[in-house]
Amino acid sequence: MRKGIAVSPGVTIGVAYCIHEVFVDPNKSLLSSHEVAGELAKFDNARKRSIEDLRALQSKVSQQIDQEAASIFSVHIAILNDPILLSKIRAWISEDHLTAQASLAKLVEYYRGLLDRSRDEYLKERMADLRDVVERLTSYLSPALKKKSKVLSGPTIVIADELLPSQVVMLGNKPVHGIVTQAGSQTSHAAIVARSRGIPAVSGVTGILRQTKTGDTVVVDGREGHVIVNPDPEVLSAYRKLEREFFHLRDELAHNRDQAAVTKDGTAIELLANVNGLADAQSAAAMGASGVGLYRTEYLYLTHASVPGEEEQLEIYNDVIDASPNRFVTIRTLDIGGDKTVPFLGRSHKEANPFMGWRSIRLSFEHPGFFLTQIRAILRSAHVGSGEPGKSVQMLFPMVTNVEEVRRLRAIVRKAQQQLRSESIPYGDVAFGMMLEVPAAAITMDRLLKNVDFVSIGSNDLVQYLMAADRDNPKVSHLCQPLSLAVIRVLESVVATCNQFKKPVTLCGEMAGQPQAFVILLGLGLRRFSMSPAFIPTIKELASHITVAKACELVELSKKQNSSRRIHSLMNKELMKIAPNLEPILMS
């Protein structure tokens, strides 16, 4: 049994599928002699097409953003032309009879081993560039892998160092029952994907790729954060029972999609969904959400090979809006930086502390043309055409720190509106919102509320900034606890101020979908929650078992505890009394 970080609740059992940087078909044996020439030609073709892509990207980014941002693609082209790199890959294909994909996987492992021993930060940064190049090559080497279900057949447990957005796309709708990663945290890409799909997941399991091979039987306990490889019959039988209970409860709760979201004493609450794209919006409707409280547009950029233009963005936004419950969507502008980067924005800009540096709207301000394109697309997506059912689109800006930034953002929105009017392009009115993630903004909430229409609390970043602890650093991750007195006090103040000013406030961080935290938030006066679609049935069920008075009582009891561990323990005990039927999906 290996211990990690529980990031998505539930218990599941399946066959391991190990992702070693690139997808390699585990059923593919070594090449025969007569296949070598064809495989070399296949690799050369993938390389040629990748270089063509990169040159086109370089030109497009140079025009839309600037020459410095486009310089990263010169680095990628240089990697693809590196004679030492090419000789290694061709030797592995021609002499060792490895497939091109297997050779790329070996290349990544080779350089990872060299760079792990290096103290040169520049060289370590080049590893990220190599991975980008390898993924681009892989997309041409195995385009059919996205479609072939035989590669992942039956209940599958995906095991990876970390799950990148591009790898998520490659998984598609494969029968993935669980995710385990060596790196990551409760707010990593893998965690977000797992929760949006409602599948158990554990992150931060050091060395799991070395101890597991594709084909092994793996148990994933996303409640306790446990991973068991090749369990004995007795252990397997016990977890089979827990797995049946988990799936039975999940199916049972899915039936409440058409029920109103109300507490036991009849207080109405609003349960919205966090989505990354069209599939999540469809899931939100299926799970009974009343709308989309957070549309993370950065996933459009993270999974896109190029810079998406205005028309392309408009089409994608309209598809998400049309699929969303009540066509209500809060679209967050690009939130890149920190743990999320794209090659054409900031990869060449090295920072000691990216989470508190050049990211989110700070990055957007530096590329006004690029930023305007997205704002124009959002404004146009809010337009109501003749005979078209009404849309309700809100625009949300991440990482707002002060009033000056809000005023600057409003000026950019006005400029986009003026441009569209001058071009006779119709657009709609949108509510203007800020994401509350920075403690400075929480302290000056009364000033900020005079300049915005609504507030969305991003608890993931707010917690790490409050605690001065990087949520992705395992050495300090124990400090990033949403159920802590500091977090409760700050949220209490923010919610009270928003209610006083009669400005809608939603919590759209991971706290909203955590049963223990949901009860605290309810007691603090919050009535709008946005979460991964898969959590909506659970929270709706929990709400029906608790009164607002009881939630307020638990808030006061929590304030008397001396540590986050005690608060968590208190809430676990109380939840077992309030809704014992939810035990199979409650995280410890």
Q: Which sequence positions are flagged as catalytic?
A: 189, 508
Q: Which amino acid is present at 34? A: H
How many Å apart are CA 584 and CA 341, to the nearest integer?
36
Sheet containing 217-221: which strands, arranged edge to edge? 2-3, 226-229, 217-221, 11-19, 156-160, 176-181, 201-203, 5-8
Other CB atoms within 10 Å distance of the CB of residue 547? 16
Task: Find out whether 372 and 415 touch, Cβ atoms under 8 Å.
Answer: yes
How many Å apart are CA 176 and CA 233, to the nearest integer?
23
How many Å apart are CA 508 and CA 491, to the nearest integer?
13
Residues in the chain, how many? Answer: 588
CA angle, residues 50, 125, 277, in degrees to nearest 5: 60
Task: Find out whether 36 and 97 touch, Cβ atoms under 8 Å.
Answer: yes
How many Å apart are CA 205 and CA 273, to the nearest integer?
28
Beta bridge partners of 272: 530
262: left (phi over 0), alpha (psi -120 to 50) or beta: beta
Nearest by Cα to 6 from 227, 252, 271, 214: 227
Backbone angles phi, psi at 217, to 5 degrees: -85, 130
Q: At what angle do helices 278-287 and 310-323 cross, to 10 degrees?
A: 10
Other CB atoms within 10 Å distance of the CB of residue 295? 26
Backbone angles phi, psi at 300, to 5 degrees: -65, -40
Task: Find out whether 494 and 442 touch, Cβ atoms under 8 Å.
Answer: yes
Other CB atoms within 10 Å distance of the CB of residue 186? 23
3 state DSSP class of 351:
coil
| Per-residue CA distances from 89 to 38, 40, 45, 115 (Å) | 14, 9, 14, 18
How many Å apart are CA 338 and CA 355, to the nearest integer?
4
Tokens of 201: 């997941």
Strands 528-531 and 454-457: unpaired
Helix (H), strand (E) at residue 384: none
Tokens of 412: 């950019």
Tokens of 200: 């158990």
